[in-house]
Amino acid sequence: MKDGFIRVAAATPKVCVADPIFNSEKIQAQMDLAVAEKTKVLVFPELCLTAATCGDLFFQSTLLAEAKNQLKQLVKKSEDSDMLTFVGLPWEYRGQVYNVLAAIQSGCLLGLIPKYYVSSDEGRYFTPGNVEAVMVLFTDADGDTYEVPMGTRVLFACEENDDLVVAGEVGTDLWGVFPPSMDHTVAGASVVVNGAASFEAVGRTAYRRDLVKGQSARLVCGYIQASAGAGESTTDYVFGGQNLIAENGDLLAESSMFAEDLILWMDLDLQRLQGERRRMGVTQTESAEDYEIVYFSQEQQETELIRPIPQSPFIPEDEAERARRCEEILTIQAMGLKKRLEHTNCKAAVVGISGGLDSTLALLVMVRACDMLGLPRKSIVTVTMPCFGTTDRTYGNACTLMRCLGTDFREVNIREAVTQHFKDIGHDPAKTDVTFENAQARERTQVLMDIANEVGGMVIGTGDLSELVLGWATYNGDHMSMYGVNGAIPKTLVRHLVRYYADTAEDKELAAALYDVLDTPVSPELLPPTDGKISQKTEDLVGPYELHDFVLFYVLRYGYRPAKIYRMARQAFAGVYDDETIKKWLKTFYWRFFSQQFKRSCLADGPKVGSVGVPPRGDLRMPSDATNRIWREEVEKL
């Protein structure tokens, strides 16, 4: 449970209808397996102690009594573990029978969660659950009697981990107009468990999956559903055992259907959920006043994660979804620029083309925006500005892109202007320092701005999210524009967007140039080349963008601590980067992120495309003078 990760499981034992003794043995066997896997929350299906398909046998006192007796055995079984377990059974109370989930842990029955939405068929046997908890007596296997709460509004809170608050709902309670889980999460629940017994029919598998995913997204919670499966009566229905584990809209795990004695494991990230809730203001703790809160204790231990940690959190792993995402992002970028051009009544847009990734993406977006507006592509003024560091490769690609896309192609060699500037300020051009580099960047921006004035247009910025977070931009140089279309796109995603355009381009010459841009090392090309090749490689100086993008996602999206990000990066990049390399660039990230905020405080407008961004008007309202001390010290201790 260190770093907010918690191992959870949904289990479906093979049951024998109306035989609680057999079913209890199966449940206990699966409890043992779950404990061995260091599971902290385990969920079993609805009515699994008796089987859900007992029909009128639920009227039989013998069955009801034996179910309660076997619950005592499960409570006894839980003595040697701090795992919180939810088991479904029929519970008789004051002449009524309720369909409940029993929460057990460390040798105690903690509470009973009754089903709230009882269908007309189920109403033949079961009474709808009460909302407010009532106290019922329970006598355990040792003969000790104590009171436990029974009601839909019961929360189970971990004493050692404030982020772990568990609530339950039963079966098709999730299908109701107002599922109990909606109140649960407003009251503070971070994890919702559901013991279910929903039969199979055409379309139900997808429907259940969508319900669980959607509810976890709507409530910003972890959602665990264990469904009835093998052994249930097939008199009228078949049960498939579709177990699901979702987190904030992401389906983390799904079991195979119709398996016997299956257990589905996954790690939930509670800190991810709480970070998202802080941003959205989901939880209103005063609503917990209507709830009975039951506290339990669990040892906080670190486990090896089974949760997959992708190297590129910005990039969908599924190829079809990645293509759809690229198309959507390009459209958002283009629509943002289209509106700005319309509003300002600009008939031209100006951009500097270097032959690198960022300016290439900006140009592709500009072409799409002009096509949307019905403007000729000649209204896009593309300017290449070779100087001391320009190579034949990047220059050639820039010229090919501009020619293939049919833009107004201009070349302004800035070598003489920069050399004169060095004379004016008394700088020795042989000294290739930051002045040498930035003078070129600022001269290029001046050229673009003046051309924009000349043609009645605006300068379109090309800098991406990764560069902005790291401050890898020349203040009042490439940092400045009138509208920045790439400001919300991390470098790793820029690559995929350009590749997507190349893959779908009908013009083979254009596609070839785009592929070569992708193969070109990332560089500002501000230092003289070596043997005609790029000598200044950005990733050698600031670090691998795939590592920085990984870090910036979890820093900006969820506010994770450096130690947690380091742990996740070690798993994600195992075999790619060693621990010292990851730690080195993690230090660089925090240093640059804090020290370069002043550049982000005055960014030009630009469209947001995803959940992470740094515009000072919304996503990142960060003081320019904040210190990175506590983050730096945590990194040093890793």
Is the separation of the CB atoms in 307 and 252 below 8 Å?
A: yes
Q: Per-residue pLDDT for 287 more than 70?
A: no
Mean pLDDT computed over 435-442: 94
Higher pLDDT, 12 or 619: 12
Q: Where residue 286 falls among pLDDT bands split at 50, 70, 90?
A: low
Tell me, letter by letter, the H, E, C secondary structure of 356-368: CHHHHHHHHHHHH
Q: Which amino acid is at 305?
A: L
Angle separating helix axes 357-373 and 491-504, nearest 10 degrees: 60
The arithmetic mean of pLDDT across residues 442-467, rounded, is 96
What is the bridge-based pairing of β-strands 458-461 and 349-352?
parallel
Q: In the 3-class helix/strand/coil scheme, how is 543-612 assigned residue by residue?
A: CCHHHHHHHHHHHHHHCCCHHHHHHHHHHHCCCCCCHHHHHHHHHHHHHHHHHCHHHHCCCCCCCCCCCC
pLDDT given for residue 521 in this prediction: 87
Q: Residue 537: its pLDDT value, please? A: 78
Judge residue 423's burial from the number of C-beta atoms within 10 Å of its C-beta, 0-12 exposed, 13-18 middle, 19 or more buried.
Answer: exposed
Distance CA 567, CA 609 (A): 28
pLDDT over 90 at 304, yes or no: no
Residue 207 has pLDDT above 80, yes or no: yes
> Domain map of the chain by residue range?
2-296, 319-636
Name the token pair of 38: 């260091």
CA dist., res. 145 & res. 137, Å (int) = 7
On the question of pLDDT at 620 being above 80, the answer is yes
Q: Write out pLDDT tens, residues 49-95.
A: 999 999 999 999 999 999 999 999 999 999 989 999 999 999 999 99
Percent of the chain with pLDDT over 90: 86
Q: What confidence score (pLDDT) does residue 209 get? A: 95
pLDDT at residue 314 tops 70: yes
Q: Which CATH number fits domain 319-636: 3.40.50.620, 3.30.565.10, 3.90.730.10, 3.40.50.1370?
A: 3.40.50.620
Question: Are the CB atoms for 191 and 221 separated by under 8 Å?
Answer: yes
Query: Could you tell me the two tokens for 613?
Result: 């961004």
Residue with tokens 């049951």: 15
Q: d(Cα 357, Cα 80) in Å, to the nearest integer? A: 58
What are 508-564's pLDDT values in tens digits? 999 999 999 999 988 777 788 887 777 677 888 899 999 999 999 999 999 999 999
283 pLDDT band, cuts 50/70/90, is low
Domains 2-296 and 319-636 are alike in CATH topology: no
Q: What whole-number distance in Å separates Cα of residue 299 and Cα of residue 1? A: 8
Average pLDDT of the segment spanning 573-577: 96
Q: Place 2 in a pLDDT band, splitting at 50, 70 and 90.
A: confident
Residue type, 616: P
For range 328-339, the mean pLDDT:
97
Nearest to 270 by CA among 143, 395, 160, 388: 160
Rounded CA separation 592/589 (Å): 5
Q: Does domain 2-296 have CATH number 3.60.110.10?
A: yes
Q: How high does pLDDT run on average in the chain?
A: 94
pLDDT tens, 413-434?
Answer: 999 999 999 999 999 999 999 9
